[in-house]
Each structure stands twice: as C-alpha cells, then as structure tokens.
Amino acid sequence: MSATNSIEKSVHNSVWQGSLKLVNVRRARNWAWMYVAEARLKNMMKWWASITAFGLGNPVLYLFSVGIGIGALVNAAWLLVGLLRRGSYTPEPGWRRFLLQILIGCILLAMFLVWASSHFDWIAMRAERYTRIGMLVAVMVASALIYGLSLWASGMKLRQLVRR
C-alpha cells in the first residue's frame, strides 16, 4: 500500500508544479529544432533499409530497363546483319520511306514533349491535383494527335500498321 501511495503522491506533486517549473522555456525555444530533428531521424532510422533500397533501386532498375532495351536493339541489328549477309532476307522496297516517316513522327513528338515538359511546371501543380491530371491528359491526347497526324501527313496509310 505504501508503494502505491508514494507513486500517487509523486504523480500528484508533478502535476501541480506547473509547466514553468517542469519545462525550461528558454532552453525549449533554443533547442526545439534539435529535438524535432532528433525525433524525425529516430523515426527515419526505423525505415533505413527501405529508404536505401528504394533510393538505390530506382536508378538501378532504370538502368536495367535501358540496358535491356539497348540489348534488344543490338540483338535485332545483329540478326538483321546476319540475315542480310547470308542472303536469307531481302527487304522489300518501301522500308526506307517507312522508316523516314516514323522518324519524322518521332522527332515531332519529341519536340512537343520537350516543349510541354519545360513549359508547364508539373511540380508546382502538385497542389492542384485535378489541374495536373487534366494537363497530363491534354498532353497525352495532343501527343497522340501530333504523332498520328504527322504519319498521316507524310503519306503513311495508318491501316497498314494494323494486322489482321
């Protein structure tokens, strides 16, 4: 019983001392930033493995995907060169014109996307969620129109791209 009474008295005494006796206001003002930073760092340390994995993983995954894409292109080029040397494949007429039409469409699309990425402040639009979504949809629709119209204007029949 006496242990319980002493705990109750210490709790009772600490409550009635007042906040100015319990907290050094000057010290709290001067060092509050440090306590907040310390608490945030302690909380972040719980997640250090995840933060490190995502921080290092994203660029690595990006490089893997770029490497796979470049590897696929190199493999296709080697295959084409090998088939051409062996005489197993002879391209039909019209391939140069087709590749030029595609290249023109890609150049126009890239020019538009570079303009759109520098013209709109996408990060500042983070607070305006629906405006950002609307602008993204507008840029995507405009991109499809620019690419499709550039192919159409260069004389490509869009139906030849669809296989049946």
Q: pLDDT at position 141, please?
A: 97
**Residues 142 and 112: beta-carbon distance below 8 Å:** yes
**Does position 33 have pLDDT exceeding 70, yes or no?**
no
pLDDT tens-digit profile of 125-164? 888 889 989 999 999 999 999 999 999 999 888 777 776 5
Q: What is the DSSP string of 49-93?
A: HHHHHHHHHHHHHHHHHHHHHHHHHHHHHHHHHHHHHHTS--PPT
Average pLDDT of the chain, as a whole number: 80
Report pLDDT for 78.
93
Which percentage of the chain shows pLDDT scores above 90? 29
CB 152 within 8 A of CB 145: no
**Who wins on pLDDT, 134 or 56?**
134
